[in-house]
Amino acid sequence: MDILTKIISDKYKEVDLKKSLISTKRLEASDLYFRKTFSLASALCNSHTGIIAEHKRRSPSKGTINQNTNVSQVAKGYQKAGVCGMSVLTDIKYFGGSLEDLQLARASVDMPLLRKEFIIDEYQILEAKAYGADVILLIAAVLSREEIKTFSELAKSIGLDVLLEVHNEEELQKSIMPSLDMLGVNNRNLKTFEVSLETSKALSKLIPNDFVKVSESGISSIQAIQDLKQYDYQGFLIGENFMKTDNPGKSASDFIQKLK
């Protein structure tokens, strides 16, 4: 069993348990559920840098990245650096994140927050809104076209942006639909964990211009972003590059200053 299959198997169990503990009515009654959201797609369209910075403590491919972070301080540092938005890992078992991380980040900043999660149930979309997210991630590799349609339409109906992640042409072709805001190309093969920016370059011409193009994973240099901009990418999700330093906010700030 590859790691992605294992994560999804565990995620179904986790979501079933959560549904038995907290009802959807309770999620929909939370204070944050009623707040006006920030659009990440708009922020990327109006930015010269397009940086989406991530909060990630560990990953299955890299192991521990940074266990000593304070998510509130990281969020404030990223906002001060001038990022377009922040991605917050909420998976506990494999990435060391939590919904509380998302909630703390929301209390600390007023920029778009992406809930980075393996979404396999509508419940998680309501959960994202209730804990302060502005954007959800849908991963084409683990969802059918019908699920992508149902989940993205639900997200849009409650004011959330949708970032759809693909890894190859087959996933892209099954996923293109009007209820998406951004199409993200993950340069990391989720089964082998190998990374290549050529994935983003190859798929760029197949993504309609109606969508904001986002490149994810393996972006660690100014040169990489300058190259990808030639392929019409407007968003660049960077996680480990900032998080592996003692001060992710300062690291992001230095990077953005060089990029400008």
Q: What is the CATH number of the domain that holds 129?
A: 3.20.20.70
DSSP letter assigned to residue 36 = P
For residue range 109-122, what is the model confidence (pLDDT) as tens digits? 999 999 999 999 99
Chain centroid, CA 127 distance in Å: 15
User: Average pLDDT of the chain?
Assistant: 95
Domain range holding 233? 3-259
Using alpha carbons, select from 49, 78, 45 the residue that is nearest to residue 258. 49
Q: Which helix (H) or strand (E) holds 257?
A: helix 248-259
Q: How confident is the model at residue 3 (pLDDT cuts 50, 70, 90)?
A: confident
Rounded CA-CA distance 70/245 in Å is 13
Checking if the pLDDT of 63 tops 80, the result is no
Indicate the number of domains in the chain. Answer: 1
pLDDT at residue number 193: 75
Between 127 and 60, the more confident residue is 127
The arithmetic mean of pLDDT across residues 198-227, rounded, is: 96
Checking if the pLDDT of 190 tops 80, the result is no
Using alpha carbons, select from 115, 83, 110 the residue that is nearest to residue 256. 83
Collect all residues with Cβ–Cβ distance below 8 Å to 185 and sequence separation of at least 6: 165, 166, 167, 199, 200, 203, 204, 207, 213, 214, 215, 216
pTM of the predicted model as reported, rounded to 2 decimal places: 0.96
DSSP letter assigned to residue 142 = G
The arithmetic mean of pLDDT across residues 195-199, rounded, is: 94
Q: Which helix (H) or strand (E) holds 87?
A: strand 85-89
Rounded CA-CA distance 101/57 in Å is 11
Which residues are identified as catalytic? 54, 56, 116, 165, 186, 216-217
For residue range 151-188, what is the model confidence (pLDDT) as tens digits? 999 999 999 999 999 999 999 999 999 999 999 999 98
